[in-house]
Amino acid sequence: MENAFGQPQTVVVLGGSSDIARELTTKLCAERARTVVLAGRNEQLLNEAAAEAQRAGATLTPIVRFDAEDVTSAERAVRESFEAVGAPVDLVVIAVGLLGNQEVDENDPAAAARMSIVNYAWPVSALAALRERMIAQGAGRIVVISSVAGIRVRRGSYLYSGAKAGLDRLCEGYADSLIGTGVTLQIVRPGFVHTKMTTGMKPAPFSVDATKVANDIVAGMRTPQRIIYTPGIMKWLFAILRHLPAPLWRKINEDR
Amino acid sequence: MTRERLYGWGRTSPSVAEVLAPIASDVENELHRAPRLLARGLGRSYGDAAQLAGGTVLRSSEMATMSPISSDGRVTVEAGVTIDDLIRVGVPQGWFVPVTPGTRQVSVGGAIAADVHGKNHHVEGSFGHHVLSMRLATPRGIISCSPTVESELFWATFGGMGLTGVVLDAELQLIAISSTDVLVDTTRFNNLDAVMNEMSSGDHRYRYSVAWVDCMTTGSSMGRAILTRGDHATESRSELAPPREAKLAVPFNAPSGLLNPLTIRAFNELWFRAAPKQRRDEAQSISSFFHPLDGVRDWNRLYGRKGFVQYQFAVPDTAGETVVDAIKTLSTSKVPSFLAVLKRFGAGTPGPLSFPMPGWTLALDLPVGPSALPGVLDQLDELVTNAGGRVYLAKDARLDPAHFRAMYPRYQEFLAIKHRVDPDDIISSDLARRLELIRK
Ligand SMILES: Cc1cc2nc3c(=O)[nH]c(=O)nc-3n(C[C@H](O)[C@H](O)[C@H](O)COP(=O)(O)OP(=O)(O)OC[C@H]3O[C@@H](n4cnc5c(N)ncnc54)[C@H](O)[C@@H]3O)c2cc1C
């Protein structure tokens, strides 16, 4: 069970090999997490993440494999993850994501579809698979890694940001649908995070590393707030940026 | 049958369950029908002890009948009868409850399950010492037990946090009083050592004793304290009238942050200024002496949406310095805490999960919010475990399984007794799952 400080004991991480997911897992294991299911595509990375989790204090770290390009794998991934825990799941993290290569993908119908499948359709299917399972438990938390990029979509990353925008907005309604069930959903909106996904990209202002993101998520889980910004300044920054006149918005994003 | 969100008094980690309020004769049916079940009283435990996510929770509110009080002060009550009910009915007839916690809004079932203690623990023990017998509904049927019949099950139920069965009713021994006044001696101390010395050497002369300690002062006044001790007046100066209802109420959650280090420090300061350096034989009412917090209904909402936790531990007599270390840890860690309650304990009840032990107990109220808090309390767990002490489960909302096992080394004995009457772990709770007493 999750305790008074939002510290879970059983965790399922969908997209468990991402840098943010791994930092978060390590942090949760240093607190109360003992059973952590790491689900994802790359077996080797998942094994590394599992070893890391064990070093941080986990005692059971099963691995579940799925490919987020295949939406039909979401239900199976969720089912197998819950079976692997064998007890109520306190926390599900959805950290599945693909940054893609905008310049190439925007002219490739298959690649463009892939961007919305991995970043949007697969997570949505997973959320649907989670819904009744979590509600039956009468308790539990879902944390969805979104992005500030979804608050206002940029020319240079609209395939990624647009899909995140969809997921982010959908999660707000999904979270409302959970009111009174004992289950909660929190949306994490990180700014620019230095990870293997963003290597080679020009960092945006107020960039952070995955450790900072993990710390902010853990702190956010102690509060009832629905949206967790990381770093915190993103909340204020985007309160302004979202209302910026379009020409100005384009201007500040010219080189990105 | 409704699904309802249930909280503990700290309002921290609620969960949703199917909630019913059966009469006593229907409890057995529910035990056969529900896959997982738990009894609940008035929800005055602070954490997740009276919650069962996704299961069935039986409220005891419809189990509220009371027998007449016999001429020697015995009374049989159903589990939903409250300490408040007992005081209301008993006091006008010259009978008082043998043990009362800091609030009257506690059910007899909850008082048994947590084996509650009051200001008289150092001389008269906990609630369990005054229960003559009870009836427990279990998946293996209804079992009558007492210190001589089914005694293992009887004692395991005290401190067993509802996990050995549903208490249907119990026979209690009340104590005789001839006045509603309590004669109180108050002394103010400038530091922790001084008050602890006085309690060690002088508490045995008083039936009731408790100290309030300020955990936010450092240096030479670290742990300044107000000690209040007393007993029921023997000659009646007033009529034996029941206590009055709470007049004030907190209607909604206060903004988080209302209780911050500054306001708490100010409150503690006022409290100390108001206390006399020394006063003897002051007549206080039952309410103001035993249940000062009951004067404001729903005061827990003052802590805002994030809620609060209480950390209460007991350590053996030889580990008095653990109390000092704990208060030092808090006062230097910038984690704000309201006045803490310090008390001396006598022996616990014989059951495997009995909380009290001869020595000291300290209870701290801590608003959730400061990022250091979870870590500081983990540190305190280490301190308490190393001192051979333990945390009070009725107040707990954050202990981990490993420290639980170290603090309650007889937990396997407890499980063996539970499994004799509930082999399939039908009776369960969020607390039991958090502490891994029950895995599924
Ligand atoms: C302001 C305040 C002051 C307090 N002061 C003290 C104090 O001085 N000393 C002290 O010891 N405690 C104190 N407490 C804690 C309180 O006394 C205990 O938590 C008590 O168990 C609460 O009783 P309840 O009826 O609210 O039970 P709940 O909180 O509803 O339940 C507590 C436990 O009892 C079990 N239970 C309830 N009914 C039954 C039943 N019929 N059969 C089997 N199990 C049952 C539940 O499953 C649960 O595990 C205080 C609490 C508050 C809010």
Q: What is the pLDDT of residues A112-143, one digit of tens each?
A: 999 999 999 999 999 999 999 999 999 999 99
Residue B215 Cα, ligand 1 centroid: separation in angstroms? Answer: 25
Do residues B212 and B250 touch, judged by C-beta distance below 8 A?
no
Contact assignment for B13 to A137 by CB distance below 8 Å: no
The sheet with strand B74-78 has its strands ordered as B74-78, B166-173, B131-138, B141-145
The C-alpha atoms of residue A204 and residue A210 are separated, in whole angstroms, by: 15
Average pLDDT over residues B106-114: 98
B305 in contact with A, Cβ within 8 Å: yes
Domain locations along chain B: 3-177+410-434, 181-398
d(CA B85, CA A256): 71
Q: For domain A10-252, say whether CATH 1.10.8.60 is its number.
A: no
The residue from A120, A160, A174, A229 that is catalytic is: A160
Can you tell me the distance from the alpha carbon of B425 to that of B431, in angstroms, rounded to the nearest whole number?
14
- Separation in Å, CA of B85 to nearest CA in chain A: 31
* Sign of the alpha-carbon torsion through B283, B286, B292, B297: negative
Sign of CA dihedral B389, B394, B400, B404: positive
Asked if B3-177+410-434 and B181-398 have one fold, the answer is: no
CB-CB under 8 Å, A4 with B307:
yes
The per-residue pLDDT for A35 is 98
Closest to A40 (Cα-Cα) out of A52, A29, A50: A50
Judged by a CB distance cut-off of 8 A, whether residue A4 touches chain B is yes
Nearest C-alpha of chain B: how many angstroms from A159? 37
The residue contributing the CA closest to ligand 1 atom 51 is: B44
Which A residues, 24 through 83, put their C-beta within 8 Å of a C-beta on chain B? Answer: 31-32
Tell me if chain B has a CB within 8 Å of the CB of A6.
yes
pLDDT of residue B238: 64
Kindly determine whether residue B53 and residue A137, on different chains, have CB atoms separated by under 8 Å: yes
For B11-57, the pLDDT digits (tens) are 999 999 999 999 999 999 999 999 999 999 999 999 999 999 999 99
pLDDT in tens, B132-166: 999 999 999 999 999 999 999 999 999 999 999 99
**B374 — contact with chain A (CB < 8 Å)?**
yes
CATH assignment, B181-398: 3.40.462
Return the minimum-mean-pLDDT range out of B183-197, B214-228, B388-402. B214-228
pLDDT tens-digit profile of A157-206?
999 999 999 999 999 999 999 999 999 999 999 999 998 888 888 888 88
Query: Which pLDDT score, from 0 to 100, does residue A202 have?
Result: 83
Q: Write the Ramachandran bin of B34: left for phi over 0, alpha for psi from -120 to 50, otherwise beta.
A: beta
CA distance A244 to B433: 50
A135: amino acid identity, one letter:
I
pLDDT for the residue numbered A143 = 98
Inter-chain touch B397–A3, beta carbons under 8 Å: yes
Q: Of the candidates B237, B228, B236, which has an alpha carbon nearest to the alpha carbon of residue B207?
A: B228
Give one word for A155, left, alpha or beta, with left for phi > 0 and alpha for psi -120 to 50: alpha
**Chain B residues closer than 8 Å to A31 by CB:** 374
Give the distance (Å) from ligand 1 centre to CA of residue B108: 8
C-beta of B113 in contact with ligand 1 (< 6 A) = yes
- Domain ranges in chain A are 10-252
Interface of A with B in 131-160 (CB under 8 A): 136-139
User: Ligand 1 test: best mutation among B4, B38, B45, B77, most atoms within 8 Å of CB?
Assistant: B45
- How many whole angstroms from B111 Cα to the centroid of ligand 1? 5
Residue in A closest to B47 by C-alpha = A4
Give me the residues paired with residue B171 across strands: B76, B133
Q: Give me the half-sphere count of Cα atoms (radius 13 Å) on the Cβ side of residue B92.
A: 9
Residue of minimum CA distance from atom 47 in ligand 1: B162
Write down the pLDDT at residue B250. 67
Question: Ligand 1 atom closest to Cα of B107?
Answer: 25
B257 touches chain A (CB under 8 A): no
Neighbouring C-alpha atoms within 13 Å toward the C-beta of B370: 19
Q: What is the per-residue pLDDT for A253?
A: 86
What is the pLDDT of chain B when averaged over all its residues?
Answer: 93
Q: Which residue, among A2, A3, A212, would best test binding to B if mutated, counting the most B CBs under 10 Å from its CB?
A: A3
**Of B16, B431, B433, Cβ closest to residue A181:** B16
Are residues B319 and B359 in contact, defined by beta-carbon separation less than 8 angstroms?
A: yes
| CB within 8 Å: A7 and B14 | no
Q: What is B3-177+410-434's CATH number?
A: 3.30.465.10
Burial of residue B144 (CB within 10 Å: 0-12, 13-18, 19+) is middle
Q: What was the pLDDT predicted at B305?
A: 79
Per cent of chain B over pLDDT 90 is 78
Establish whether residue B9 lines the binding site of ligand 1, counting it when its CB lies within 6 angstroms of any ligand atom. yes
CA of B76 to the centre of ligand 1 (A): 19
Provide the pLDDT for residue A29.
98
Over the stretch B357-382, which tens digit does the pLDDT of each residue have? 999 999 999 988 888 999 999 999 99
A158 is catalytic: no
Q: Touching check for A88 and chain B: CB below 8 Å?
A: yes
Q: Which atom of ligand 1 is nearest to the CA of B9?
A: 53
The shortest C-alpha distance from A6 to chain B (Å) reads 8
Over residues B240-290, the pLDDT tens digits come to 877 776 666 766 676 666 677 777 777 777 777 778 888 999 999 999 999
In the DSSP assignment, the letter for residue A121 is I
Tokens for A22, please give them: 């791994």
A2 touches chain B (CB under 8 A): yes
Per-residue pLDDT, B298: 78
The residue-averaged pLDDT of B407-433 equals: 98
Whether pTM > 0.90 for this model: the answer is: yes
Whether B126 is in the pocket of ligand 1, judged by its Cβ within 6 Å, is no
Interface membership of B253 toward A (CB under 8 Å): no
A222 interaction partners in chain B (CB closer than 8 Å):
306, 368-369, 371, 374
Cα of A57 from ligand 1 centre, angstroms: 33
Q: What's the pLDDT score for residue B335?
A: 83
